[in-house]
Amino acid sequence: MKIKRLLIYFFVLFLLLNIAHFTLAEDKSAPGGIIPKLQKTANDPELIEGHVYPNWGPVCQRYTYSVIYRDKEGRKPQYVKIYFNGKMIDMVKNNPNDDDYQKGVKYIYKYVPNKLGSNFYYFEAANGLGKTRDAIIDSPDNGPVLFKSAFNKNQIVVVDKQTGKKILDYPTGKEWVGGIALSDDGRYLAAKTSKHIYLFDTNSPKEPLWNFNCEQCRIGDDVKGGIAISGSGSKIIAAFTERVALFDKSSNKPIWMYDKAGGSYNVAIAKNGKYMAAATAGEESNVNSNLLILWSEKSEKPLWQYHSSGNFHDVSLSDNGDYIAGSTGCPDRRAYLFYKNSNIPVIKTDPLTRDSPVHRAKISSDGSSFAVGSESDAGAVFFFRKNSKEPIWKFPVPQGSSVRALNFTPSGKYIGAATFGGQVFIFDSSSSQPISSWSLNNVAIGGIDIADDGSYITIGGTDKKLHIFEKGLQIGKEILFNEYVEEIDISANGKYIAAGTGGSVYFFETFDKDSTPVSCTNIIEPKAEEEEMAQAGFNGNDEQANSSLCGDGTCEGPETIDNCRQDCDPNYEGRGIFVKSTQFKLPGMLTGFAFLGSILALGVYYATVKFNLLRRRPEDLKKLNKRILMTICITAVLFLILTLVFMFLNKPKSSQYEPREKTPLNTDQDNRSGEATDKENRKNLNEKQGVCGNDICEPGLGESRESCSQDCSAQ
C-alpha cells in the first residue's frame, strides 16, 4: 500500500513539474497558467469581442477591457466578470440603460497600470443555467503590452558606416517604422511607417522623393507589414493594412496593388526586381489567410499562394527569385523552402519548437541554404541546405532566449543573430559555434543586419541605440536613437546603415524586468475607441465599413475632408492618386477593327473588279468602281484617324495606374497640414527643377521623354 501511495505521489509531482515548465515556456506567471475548461450546455450564454483597448502603451494610461454578453433567450446575466491576474472582478455595463441581452450588452472594466509586466485576463459570464468564457483557449490572454516609452518620437535614420554620423534623420512622430530597405549602392532608401510609404535619395536626405499615404492604417501592432527594395532601387514592394503594392522608384502611384493579402509580417523582393513575396497572418481555419504569396512584377495576380496552420512570420527570396524561404508560428512552427514554379514545398521541416514561433527566415543569394531563428524558451539558430529537411546544425541559445533578430550574408557563409537576452552572435555556416559574440546587459535586441562580407554586424534594441560591432573586436560604436530600434538594413556595399524605430517586434514577450511601481500623478486618457475605430474604417458594429484607401479617387466610408482631402475635396489640386486606366480602351479597339475591316473590303473590291467575279459589263464596272472606291477610302481614312486619336489617348504608362490630374509630390512632415502644406508643395514644385540623369523621371519638375530621355524612356 505504501508503494502504491508513493507511486501516486511521484506521478502527481511529475505532472505539476511539467505544468510549471509549460507555464514558464509561455512566459507566464501563475495567473497565466492553464485554466480548466467549462462544461458546455445548451443554455450557455455568449461572450464575444473580448479585448483590451488600447492593446499597447505606457504605464499610467487608462486601459479598458470590454466584452459583449449575449443570450439567445434574452436572459439577464447572473454575473459578468473578468479574471484579472488571478482575481475575479465584476464588470459593469458600458451603458447602464442597455437591457437588450438578446442583441448583446457591452460590459467594461477600466484599469491604470503603474508598473511594467504582464496582465493576464479572460472574461466569464453565467445566466443561472450555464456559463461561458472569452479571451481564453487553454490559458488567459495577455494585454496590454506595456512599454516605458509612448513611442511618439520615432525616426528613420541612415548612418555613414565610416564616420558613424547620421546623414539622414527623418522624424515620423507616433508612426512606428515597420520596414527599412536600402538599394545595393545605398543611394535609395525605402521605408514603411504606420501610415506612409517613403522613398528617399540619400544624396538629398532632407525630404523624401515621394510618399504614399494610408490614412486608415492604424498605429501599433505586431503584424507590422514590411518593405523591400530591388538591388538597383528601381522596384519597391510594400505591405500595409491588408494590401501589398508594387512601386517604381519614379512614382508614388502603385504599378499594381493586391487587396486580399490580409495582414503581413514581412515582404521580400528578388535582387533583379522580377519576383516578390509576402508572409501573412490570419486564422488556421481560413485557407485565404496564414499565407506565403508569390507574385511576378507583371501582375497583382499571385503566381501561387500556400496556406499554413500558423502565421507566416517571415519570407526571403534568392537573388533571382527562384527560391523562397519562410517560417511560421504556432501551431505549425516550421521552416519552409519553395521553388518559384510551385507552391508545393521543396522543404517542410518538422516542428522546430514545442510551443513557440519560428520568427525569422533568411536565404542565401543562390538559394542553396537558409537560416531561421526561433522564439521564447526554445530560442535557437538553425542552418539548412536545400537538399535536406533536417537542419545541418542547431545552436540553442543560452537560457533559450528568443532569436527575433537574424540575418544571412548573400554568400551563405555568415549568419548574424541576436536575442531578447542581449546576446549577439556571428556564425560561420560551417559550424554551430559562434566565431564572434557579444553581450549587452538589460537589452532586448529586435533588429539586426550583417554586412555582405561578414566583416561587421549592426544591432538595435530597447536601449534606444544602434550598435556596430566589427567581427573579432569586442568594443563597438553606438549611435543614440529616440525610441526602440527594430528595423535595420546595411547596403550591399557596406557603406550605409539604415535603421527605424518601433515596437512591433517587442510585442507579447516580457523583456523588461523592471517592475518597480511608479506614482501615476497624471493619468493618460487615450482617444475614445469608437473614434479610433471610425478613423480606421469601422462602423458602430465593429465591422469594417469598407475597404477604403485614401487616394483611390473615391470618397467613401470613414473618409472625410479632414483625413483624406485628395478623395473628398473636389477642389483639391491633386485629387485622385490612382485610378485604373480603362477608359477609351473599348472605342479604340472598335475603331481599329473597323479600319482593318475597311482595308479588307477594299481588297475584296479590287479582287472583284480584277477577276470580274460578278461577271458584269465593263461599262457597269467603271461606274461601280468610282462610287464604291470613294466610299471605302473615305471610311477607311475616317476609322484610321479615330484609331490614331484613341491610340494617343490610350498610350501606355510606366505605371498601370494613372492620375486624374497632376498630383503634387507630398513630402511634408506630419506636423504640416491643410492649406499651408498645399501652398508649400506648389511653391516647391514651381521653384525646383528636375535633375536630368538621376534615373528618376520627374514630370512635376519639368522632365519628359523629349527633355530627358535617359530618365523618362519608360514613360
* Residue predicted with more confidence, 56 or 179: 179
Place of cell 470590454: 66
pLDDT at 291: 97
* 18 found inside a domain: no
Q: Which of 630, 649, 668 is the last residue of a domain?
A: 649
Q: How many other C-beta atoms lie within 10 A of the C-beta of residue 712?
A: 20
Domain final residue pick, 623, 649, 675: 649
pLDDT above 50: residue 27: no
Say if 112 falls within a structural domain. Answer: yes
* 125-129, 250-254, 631-635: segment of lowest average pLDDT: 631-635
Report the length, in residues, of the chain.
715
For residues 439-462, give the mean pLDDT.
Answer: 95
Furthest C-alpha separation in the chain: 130
Q: Do residues 485 and 605 both lie within one domain?
A: no
**651 vs 575, which has greater pLDDT?**
651
Lowest-pLDDT range, 226-230, 235-239, 304-308, 511-515? 511-515
Residue 643 domain boundaries: 585-649
Residue 584: pLDDT band (50, 70, 90) is: very low
pLDDT for residue 618 is more than 70:
no
My answer on whether 254 and 279 are in the same domain is: yes
User: 659: pLDDT confidence band, cut at 50, 70 and 90?
Assistant: very low
Task: Say what percent of the chain tops pLDDT 90.
Answer: 58
For residues 142 and 194, state if they share a domain. no
For residues 237-262, give the mean pLDDT: 95
Last residue of a domain, one of 480, 506, 532: 506
**Four-residue CA torsion sign, 302, 306, 309, 311:** negative
Residues 91 and 190 in one domain: no
One domain, residues 375 and 443: yes
pLDDT digits (tens, 9 = 90+) for 528-561: 988 877 766 655 554 444 445 565 555 554 555 5
My answer on whether omega of the bond before 144 falls inside 30° of 0, hence cis, is yes
- Does 408 lie in the same domain as 345? yes
Q: What's the whole-number mean pLDDT along residues 78-106?
A: 96
Say which CATH number the domain at 402 has. Answer: 2.130.10.10
Same domain? For 115 and 234 the reply is: no
pLDDT tens for each residue of 351-406: 999 888 999 999 999 999 999 999 877 899 999 999 999 999 999 998 888 899 99
Does the pLDDT value for residue 631 go beyond 50? yes
- Weakest mean pLDDT among 129-138, 299-308, 337-346, 442-451: 129-138
Q: Which range has the worst mean pLDDT, 46-55, 132-141, 404-413?
A: 132-141
Which amino acid, one-letter code, is at 106?
Answer: K
Higher-pLDDT residue of 635 and 663 is 635
402 within domain boundaries? yes
Is it the case that residue 88 has pLDDT exceeding 70?
Answer: yes
State what percent of residues in the chain have pLDDT above 70.
74
Do residues 203 and 72 both lie within one domain? no
Q: How many domains does the chain have?
A: 3
Taken in order 93, 96, 99, 102, the sign of the CA dihedral is: negative
Q: Yes or no: say if 322 and 342 are a contact pair by the CB < 8 Å rule.
A: no
- Contacts of range 508-514, beta carbons closer than 8 Å, 24 or more positions apart: 508/142, 508/145, 508/222, 509/27, 509/375, 509/376, 509/402, 509/420, 510/27, 510/117, 510/118, 511/420, 511/444, 511/462, 512/116, 512/148, 512/444, 512/462, 513/442, 514/116, 514/148
Q: Is 40 part of a structural domain of the chain? A: yes
Q: Are residues 197 and 139 in the same domain?
A: no
Identify whether residues 255 and 306 lie together within a single domain: yes
Residues 159 and 138 in one domain: no
Given a contact cutoff of 8 angstroms between Cβ atoms, the answer to whether 189 and 202 are in contact is yes
Could you tell me the CA-to-CA distances from 400 to 270, 378, 384, 417, 421 in Å, in that order? 33, 5, 20, 13, 9
